[in-house]
Structure 1
């Protein structure tokens, strides 16, 4: 749990979070705790993601009723779990026992358990391995036996055991001690209670927790956004050696249906949790869930993969360039094969069947677990997977079957486009036959958006395709005059005959990006979509250094002692191309070698207006060099960086590149405009810690800064704390859409969250969690104000913000600067 709740108008309580998990190399897993429970991953509901502290007896009863009436129980969901805030703030003074809040739970927890059990379901409860829970209610540290007996008397079936206010020294030995104490206490009660260890992956629980509990969190808390899900998959997927019946890696609860992701992303969320043999704990308000949400949550084929009695977490077969293949053996002898695409464009993901656990066979039967389609492949399992999508096949060896359709993949790429009259672009498609036998009369067609034209410039038909052969076609795209910038869909369909003359078709949607000339004004170049780019290592990075081969793996751009929040991180040889349409006049930037480079090499930075070099700078490691280029009237802008001979991989930066277009002048503000709220130039700007007994401190520092010459040094305790202040006068965020803050860590990375207080009663609103790893890493944390949620009945009034807080976790020094709104 990470979200913090206001205990009273001016009292802040601690957010429960953890440092990002550091993945250890595979090792022999410990023996599972012998309680006979959770032989398959638990399935159920938890109120926290959707309701936070707003949990009541009626809500839990409503969920239990819905489990039965909606079919959730029928497909395997059984645990209805109560999270934090169910108790009174103090224990019973005579017995020392935890006391259910009589307003929220008039029947008591035991009464709710009776209601849930009568439905054939089970009840879960929340406690904490510290002196207090994350929302400030009594913790169980030092009360393990009493609390375990209480839970057993109430007929609890599942315990989520959190990690706030833990008084820990941060050692793995302490984590093992605290979590073992409750595990043994539960065992002594004699009641079967599933034990869920929630310490956020801080102490690498996969290396020890199988002897203690039934499941353990491997990461910080999930958020309802793609970045969070992608990050958690990357951390949890490699931990497959540690999971098995009765002991599971837990990448946190499901966000399906909470509104922050697309249906494609939610299907990936569900698919990858199933492949990773993760607990499936619903975290949405089921009372208003859409039909689409329920369809995802009740997909019996995907659930069967998760609940397979063999109890094996999928092996990562391959993981490269944002594409991952997972292979999970099933008890009936089949395999579940997931083709996962974390990138932002459609991609063809494939794996030879012999590289999975499948035995060699004349053919393989593929059942798509989302569409239900059944096809047969000859040697390769493949699909065109949409951006952020996952295709899951159930696969078994077979012999070619005359009535089973062949597997055909249709993929492709689209170039970046510009508008008419110069408007044109290209699109390349590939239709590949992966099934047995021969396809006949193969034809590829494209459905374009209204007003667009698509013309084949190479053959779009072929009389036949044998197994593993492809039909590649090039197309010219005509862009209609007046088309606006954006992404446009093109549906590519391959039609073909197979078998005894049957006709089938396979379709894929590609998206082409249209760029237009920049509008009037001065803009950071990192906010303008380039026409195209090539880069020596990995992608060109926006507002961070190049880092390495993966996307978004760099830090804040740093040249010499200067740290920049805007710019382009590149690796030689590099070229970035922009369409200007003759509308722009000037480009300014600081250029240089990023401090991450370490090669000692120099690099040459050249700006081209059309084909003319209008600015050239050679930069050595050290201070940045200013560059000023006249691009008046140019249709095209090119930024080229090359390294010295033998130093081609040098990492460089185009820092704060500002493009001036139209009638804009040097005095016009640079868009997008951001307003700095706290810059710490005069000290700590009265920032402090929210929880005096939670540890941590603040001080002024000049060792890191992105705005001015000073920043805030926050010494974060292992358990984390909130850093910020309550304001004497309301702060007006105006029409701002995002909050930003620049961070640099000294340890392994950062987990955190942003919160604000609003109104005269200082109501607490929070959200927008983040997690990243990497010693000494730095980032600009950007979180939409829409990601911040308030308690029931409270509105986030952006004109009356009365407090701003940042949660920092994991121990060690964290440098923080330029909290701003934009």
Structure 2
């Protein structure tokens, strides 16, 4: 995976005057790949270096697949009025957007910051935002004169360079501000209280010893019409170690989001800090106690290989399960709903599931397809990376598995996938891959996951090292595949990473080769292992991913929890969409809902609640693997409602296996249409603008002219339409997801 863990907003303005309290660094940069100590010197002549575009990685600026060292240089005058006009005058701060993956920063030849403030070496991966603070009297600073800033970067793999990644990214020089280390912590969950209320507490925090004394303004706004619904101002005092807590309760007036604005103003300095968030609203109907059988209508396995399938059923337990028509070799546990065994003969076997509880009985027609193709519908599961990064361990995986079994498996979710960070430093004496101390018993962990009726996934790279610097499968493909089989692994994510060391400038054949090699190794193992190709969409992988045996293939770089990242990826899947088919699906990367963080520290996703509805809707329309990336041990009510809407999941899991195509594209909205196996269609009306807007589709339009029923899938109710159009008022960055029927 290309490690993208942090996001910021790029400022395209030119040089800002000192009165604006910052100096822009957004223009004037040059860069070169390679490494030389001379490049830090202010006297070095960089006239022949390439002009740098801070909106782009260096791969997209003429250096495809380049990993290693590169340098950026710029020249800037730092006026002394910057210091004179500031409230605090002791420190200067350099904001350098995002660095991929690690850096050293020189001013006029002197090292002033490195590694993002972390330890280690420059070759240790440390992707993320960069901000360095130095004393205003540091002799490296030449006040009122030209300063040369040089940034040495090392890229460990995937994309590289110094660049903006969207929301909040700064390239400037400014004085340290009294509000620099103040945070409006909104990380607590909203709680659903009595009388249709939403309750929450937020905190004003700082690491400073400065005593902040001022006012906290609280305001609730309806973004549909701009009406202020509630506002209040409170006294607020806090300092390091003594936060200020503000608790509130507001009414949920309708099924939509409202905007909350928190503004703290410090009386002594006159400085303010503002943060906004939106309120959650649940569209998925409250679950019924009556039995409902969910999930896909088909499941594929290869002849003779171990079979594992949990019948997904919701309602009040306990259940009694039956399955009529099971092929020879399979058996059902009537108490758990888990089907196990192996089937020797190829064929499509029609089966009828029956699930009963005290309130009634439901049946469902199902097909068990025994043949060469597995993964007939996109994978539904969890992957550890977006929450835990390299801090994943046995305990976190077990917690995730237990949570999936208790809360999500009844809706079809089945895979528990360990991403990077599980591998030991060295192989065993016989060359076998072994797990590190965080995973003391990988076979035991897999057995535990299987005991819950779930499937287990793992991660590797075709190169010598993974993206996180752990052991890859280079020249050990057969051994690793057999080890995975011995452990009972059901899913392999295979990430390009350091294979660039083997093939630094790969042509199409070289892009395919490592994935073909592992495909051959997996074929020697008597186990169904879903094969996920992760190489970021290079070489238009959607054109050939199925040919080399991939069950899914990444079409993009790593996703981040911002609208810019999610929408930019999701709405650019048009070229890949026609290649989706049963057993072979485009993968626009994992979900970024819930609590994410890419390491031990987690935060609520930065996607608004409307944007999260768009995220799940769009990925389902695209027939994408739905791989949850959040902390499964902390599923709040809203996130759980996103992941348990069976009608939305059914669109993703539709047996036809087609992906939606972009039907309408305007500046401020898009319409995507997906064909379904029953002859209906799923349609997403997406508002891509920052304001509420009305989106209409003419009923005579070919997309819907043959249909008379329009079902709001999130609310699971039919829409009463009059007139000649299907019309919806859609929230900013929101969606109306409709299923049309005859």
TM-score (normalised: structure 1): 0.45
Larger radius of gyration: 1
Task: Output the TM-score relative to the length of structure 2.
Answer: 0.49
Q: Which has the higher strand share?
A: 1
